[in-house]
Amino acid sequence: MSKLEILKNADNGAIAAWFAQRLRAALALNPEIAVTVPGGSTPFPIFDLLAKEDLPWERIAVWPGDDRIVDEDHPASNVGKIRARLEPAGAKIVPLAEDAQPPHFAIAWLGMGGDGHVASLFPNTDPQADDPHPVRRLTPDPLPPEAPFDRLSLTIPALTDSDEIMFVIRGADKRAVFDAAVKGKHDLPVSRLLKAARHKVTCFC
């Protein structure tokens, strides 16, 4: 990890504005860009605000970092909820598939679970920084009770093939896990990803 910036106490509006600014900077350099974004409960209110930003959304492809293997209209579908919020603004939403070939991302936006998982790279899946596959089908163990489904997930090499990485982490317990990862005090998936990151990492905590 080359550089880490911790931004504390940022509300959803500030995070949406920051992300929009980073998208504008990337679009100033490239006619089209791709980003990957997380699922879970935290990002969707931010997506609602982001969709209101004046951006050339038709030039932005949005990939979920992971998804539950369910139909898009299922309540547990990440891509379905991302599509509902950002496709009306004009963004191109790209569902995950096992044979997908993800592009280089302008920004990889990640969340983190209390067990140190990122995307659907749970500790039991033993994610590797040199994984030859950009996408994996995985089964978390234990299965989260709120979403007991197999997953598709971008791997560490796919997530770190990005110009920068962003985390949004809520809660003191998760922050402690993240801080320990930064200090190299454990080998959870978030720690492995941070070690593999070669560009700027921003964490909204």
Q: What is the mean pLDDT of the chain?
A: 95
| pLDDT for residue 144 is more than 90 | no
134-154 residues labelled b (16+ CB within 10 A) or e (exposed): bbbebebeeebeebebebbbb
Contacts of 126 (CB under 8 A, 6+ apart): none
| pLDDT for residue 55 is more than 90 | yes
| pLDDT for residue 51 is more than 90 | yes
**Fold classification of 3-204 (topology level):** Rossmann fold (3.40.50)
| pLDDT for residue 160 is more than 80 | yes
pLDDT of residue 118: 97
Query: If pLDDT is split at 50, 70 and 90, which confidence band does 1 have?
Result: low
Instruction: Phi first, then psi: give them for residue 177, nearest 5 degrees.
Output: -65, -45
pLDDT of residue 19: 98
Rg of the chain taking only CA atoms, in angstroms:
16
Share of the chain above pLDDT 90, in %: 92
Predicted confidence (pLDDT) per residue in 189-199, tens digit: 999 999 999 99
| pLDDT for residue 145 is more than 90 | no
Predicted confidence (pLDDT) per residue in 106-128, tens digit: 999 999 999 999 999 999 999 99
